[in-house]
Amino acid sequence: MSFARRVSALGLSLLSVFALVSCATREQPSTSPAPTQPAFPATLTAPDGKQVVIERQPSRIVSLSPTATEVLFAIGAGKQVVAVDDQSTYPAEAPRTQLSGFKPNVEAITQQNPDLVVVAADLNDVVGGLTAVKIPVLLLPTAKALDDAYAQWTLLGKATGQVAQADNLVVRTRDAIKKVVDTTPAKPLKYYHELGPDLFTATSGTFVGRVYALFGLQNVADPANTPAADGFPQLGQQALFQANPDLIFLADTKCCAQTVETVRARPQWSTLTAVQRNNIVALDDDIASRWGPRIVDLVNQVSAAVKRAAG
């Protein structure tokens, strides 16, 4: 991803200037700060390749993306956020409203008088509508891999003037994930990631699927994927039983009230290896569906499950 930058580091770099006046008289070396380039206006390149111009540091940000909301607060831009959508459940202090990211209303958004709007999808032509009234819009779609997520965090840092904090978040998250993965034995265990009791799931080609792949896990849903499913197919129970996963991860504990107990109570599920060995892991739906900094929590849960199953 290339960025037409007028963004510079927030800290001041010191340029040392040494001067020897004469053999008899020596002045101490002096230092003076190099001139810093202003962070704004900034021209950023969004993941879709479009350029977004932000004239000044935003002070009234509206986020219609739960992931972006989490990142904005994690990089210290929370004080600049004036409104978030109804699905932005974290952090608790986020100014949650009735604004919708699924059915965005340009008029309702503009009533917040925003100087930057962040969205996860261009629904109801929200990007065009806001652009028409001169409001910068940053479109940050679902990340496909960790590097995509890191790039979005970095972009939000530049968009908000929180460059150093965003860079630090990326480094800390990358290091934390590497540490967990490096200390977890890689095992070719089979897993099933449940999005709903109707057996909708996610393949290894999705963001969460790539997280599981860090541990060498094999996704039982991959053979069921189709272009139409786009990484989120619906499994037949027979196919699931034939695959017989070693691990079951439930990402439907909030949306569908699924638990270890409800899975155990399903007809014939007691024959599955994961059920017999108590390798059913209840996840937080929100963490498992977002590509924000809490991904470290998911990585830790997967690691613990792998260690338990491998042991």
For residues 235-258, average pLDDT:
97
Strands 42-45 and 51-54: antiparallel
Full-model pTM = 0.86
CB 207 within 8 A of CB 142: yes
Q: If you count them, how many residues does the chain have?
A: 311
Distance CA 207, CA 200 (A): 16
Q: Please give the Cα distance from 276 to 262 (Å, whole number).
A: 14
Query: Any residues with CB less than 8 A from the CB of 140 and at least 6 apart, and which?
Result: 46, 47, 65, 67, 68, 118, 119, 120, 152, 155, 156
Task: Give me the chain's average pLDDT, please.
Answer: 89
**Using only C-alpha atoms, what is the Rg of the chain?**
24
Asked if residues 292 and 282 have their Cβ atoms less than 8 Å apart, the reply is: no
| pLDDT exceeds cutoff 60 at 269 | yes
Span 74-99, pLDDT tens digits: 999 999 999 999 999 999 999 999 99
DSSP letters spanning 11-29: SPPEEEE-----SS--PPP
The CATH code of the domain at 184-310 is 3.40.50.1980
- The predicted structure's pLDDT at residue 132: 96
Under DSSP, is residue 87 helix (H, G, I), strand (E, B) or coil? coil
Sign of the Cα torsion 159, 163, 167, 173 reads negative
User: What integer pLDDT is reported at residue 311 of this predicted model?
Assistant: 77
Which neighbouring-strand residues pair with 247? Answer: 191
How confident is the model over 230-249, as a mean pLDDT? 97
All residues at 6 or more sequence positions from 232 whose CB lies less than 8 Å from its CB, including other chains? 195, 200, 201, 202, 203, 206
| Residue 82, helix vs strand vs coil | strand
C-alpha separations of 18 from 21, 23, 30, 120 in Å: 10, 14, 6, 52
- Kindly tell me if the per-residue pLDDT of 9 is higher than 70: no
- CB atoms under 10 Å from CB of 261, counted, come to 9
Is the pLDDT score of 53 beyond 80?
yes
Q: Helix or strand or coil: residue 84? A: strand
Separation between Cα atoms, residue 4 and residue 8, nearest integer Å: 12
Tell me the C-alpha distance between 162 and 156, whole Å.
8
pLDDT of residue 187: 82
Q: What is the 3-state secondary structure (H, E, C) of 102-150?
A: CCCCHHHHHCCCCCEEEECCCHHHHHHHHHHCCCCEEECCCCCCHHHHH
DSSP assigned state of 272: S
Amino acid (1-letter code) at residue 260: V
Residue 284 pLDDT: 97
Percent residues over pLDDT 90 in the chain: 86
pLDDT band at 39 (very low <50, low <70, confident <90, very high): confident
User: Class assignment of domain 45-162?
Assistant: alpha beta
How far apart, in whole angstroms, are the C-alpha atoms of residue 302 and residue 282?
Answer: 11
Residue ranges, CATH 3.40.50.1980, the chain: 45-162, 184-310
